[in-house]
Structure 1
Amino acid sequence: MKPGMIVTASMLTTIAAVILLVSLQSLHTRTWGGEKAEPVTASHQTVELTNDNLVDVLSALHMSTPIARVEWKQSILTIDLKVKDTDTTYTEIYENMAAVADLSFRRLENVEQVLLRVMAEDEWMHRRHLLLAADIRRGEWPMYAIDMLRTWKSAVFSEELKDWFHLMQTELWKKQFEMTSQG
């Protein structure tokens, strides 16, 4: 065999192998979850929450319901979300609660419990009223529960969500969201 033919044959073989590998990767991505697919070796980088990085970590959330108060103490994160006006929907609140749970239990390694309260603030009287409370504990619910909460479309929670996240709704919540969503 001539040396030029050997080089050409090896180049063609290499190009064919690259095309085949790219095709297989494309097929794998389309059949196993598209852009959400991750290589087995990829790992989510977790962060350890401290009082020093608390503000930086929480400011990355970009929630529509602002944080009114936060406390970090011995693996317990306490957060109060403040509902400012009546235009806030329960779906927005759920998305924000899910964002807090996602951050706390998927991206932070040392949060064992989140005590989350949703408060309504009366601008005229300068008083805060509890609407909803959750006591979310690591390991007491399946990870898909975060997505279930994020996409929940009813002001009334399922029994599963109530049990998993230890949810408690006040009469004010029911008056503001449950009764208005029923018509």
Structure 2
Amino acid sequence: MKPRMIVTASLLATVTAVFLLVAVQTLHMRTLGGERAQPVTAAEQKQELSDENLVDVLSSMHLTTPIAKVEWKQSILKLDLKVTGTETSYTEIYANMAAVAELGFHSLDNVEQVLLRVMAEDEWLHKRHLLLAADIRRNEWPTDAIDALRNWKSPVISGELKEWFHIMETDLWKKQFEMLNEG
């Protein structure tokens, strides 16, 4: 075979392969929806909370403060966190509150409001006392507010965090955490 024919044959085979690849790609794009097809990533997929998956979703958080009570009804998640003894720190409580807010509003699509209470349980008398409450609502706080709460290093919470998350502290909270840190 002449060298000129070899070059022509290989050039013709290359051009044919390019046309076939373009045709297959075009067919593939038309089948999938063309430019409207969007890649799906795990970060974009949000779950829907329901009675069927409530336990699984909440157990995935790995909170350091145990959940004492939970209720899910009409896009409102109600949660009580239980503090026993004096070993739990305010930074732990803030981190757990941030974890609940992050789950409710970043990982779940159908939660519009989280009503969160932090309860102290008296082991001797078996009574529960409210320490802190929050009424956290979707889209009522800036995107960095959860990180600000998670990293807050003072028992006295800022006015901004109180306003964004509708946080209310009781006298028992102040006695347990704020006054202990003054001395």
TM-score by length of 1: 0.77
Residue 147 of structure 1 corresponds to which residue in structure 2? 147
Q: Deviations over 1:96-133 (max 9, x none)?
A: 00000000000000000000000000011010000000
**Corresponding residue for 1:30?**
none
Query: How far apart are the structure 2 equivalents of 1:88 and 1:45?
Result: 34
CA distance in 2, matches of 1:56, 1:109: 16
The percent of aligned pairs where both chains have the same amino acid is: 69
Amino acid at match of 1:115: L
Cα deviation per residue 1:51-89 (whole Å; 9 max; x = unaligned)? 000000000010110000000000000000000110100
Matching residue of 1:173? 173
Question: How far 1:146 sits from its partner (Å)?
Answer: 0.3
Looking at structure 1, the residues matched to 155 and 181 of structure 2 have their Cα atoms a distance apart, in angstroms, of 7
Match of 2:97 in 1: 97
Match of 2:133, SS?
A: strand
Contact kept in structure 2, 1:94 and 1:149, CA below 8 Å: yes
Counterparts of 2:178 and 2:40 in 1: how far apart (Å)? 45
In structure 2, the partner of 1:65 is: 65
Shift of 1:44: 2.8
Alignment match, 1:131? 131
Distance 1:163 1:67 in 2: 24
**Residue 160 of structure 1 corresponds to which residue in structure 2?**
160
SS in structure 1 of the partner of residue 85 of structure 2? coil
Structure 1 segment 77-96 matched on structure 2, within 5 A: 77-96=77-96
- Tell whether the 8 Å contact from 1:133 to 1:169 is kept in structure 2 after alignment: yes
Residue 153 of structure 1: how far off its partner (Å) = 0.3
Separation in 2, partners of 1:123, 1:41: 49
Superposed displacement of residue 182, structure 1: 1.6
What amino acid sits opposite 2:180 in the alignment?
A: T
Which secondary structure state, in structure 1, belongs to the residue aligned with residue 176 of structure 2? helix
- Report what 2:53 is aligned to: 53
Q: Answer with 1 or 2: which has the greater Rg.
A: 2
2:31 paired residue number: none
What SS class does the counterpart of residue 68 from structure 2 fall into? strand
Q: Secondary structure at the match of 1:64?
A: coil
1:10 match: none
Residue type at the aligned position of 1:68: A
CA distance in 2, matches of 1:45, 1:178: 40
Give the superposed CA RMSD: 1.7
Aligned residues: 147
User: Any unmatched runs of 5+ in structure 1?
Assistant: 4-39
Normalised by the length of structure 2, the TM-score is: 0.77
| 1:45 positional shift | 1.9
